Amino acid sequence: MCLHPYFITGLFDVESCFMINILQRYNLKFRWLIQLQFQIGLHKKDINLLKSIKNYFNGNNTKRNYNIVEFRVPQAADYPCLRPNRDLADFLIQKFSEIVEKIIPFFDKYSVLGAKALSYVAFKKVASIMQKKEHLSEPRLSEILSSKSFT
């Protein structure tokens, strides 16, 4: 299945989320771990569409399968995993380098609209802070933790 980028953007605009996870970790210097995740969830009948999206972002590199992560399992899978006790399948990207190299450039070129655009701006801003390693400093960490900074 060959997907047009604007079809992907339209689908993502409705069915995806840009997540900024902020986790407290006592073994870290500032006790906070910042993680970015991009996720799209569809009904299991659309699992082939999720596979096509995976292929779109992977290109022809079939040996790498970092774009699909099993639900509640940290290891990568060869296909979108079905959620237990649900009729849903997820496509999840959580590797920071892939978010910076593939997801952000894609949405810079093919923009999402509406409220999702605000989420994307916040997501991209945190990615930029993380790329510069500024999230490891107290002032920038406080900025990220402040909900008013990214809503």
Q: How many other CB atoms are found less than 10 A from the CB of residue 89?
A: 24
In angstroms, rounded to a whole number, what is the distance separating the alpha carbons of residues 108 and 141? 25
Looking at residue 83, its pLDDT comes to: 55
Looking at residue 64, its pLDDT comes to: 37
- C-alpha 10: how far from chain center: 16
- C-alpha 106: how far from chain center: 12
Domain 5-149 architecture? Roll (3.10)
pLDDT along the chain (151 residues), means of 10: 86 88 74 84 83 76 37 40 64 87 93 87 90 80 66 46
In angstroms, rounded to a whole number, what is the distance separating the alpha carbons of residues 113 and 120? 10
Q: For the whole model, what pTM was predicted? A: 0.76
Q: Residues, the chain, total?
A: 151
Domain boundaries, the chain: 5-149
Looking at residue 59, its pLDDT comes to: 53
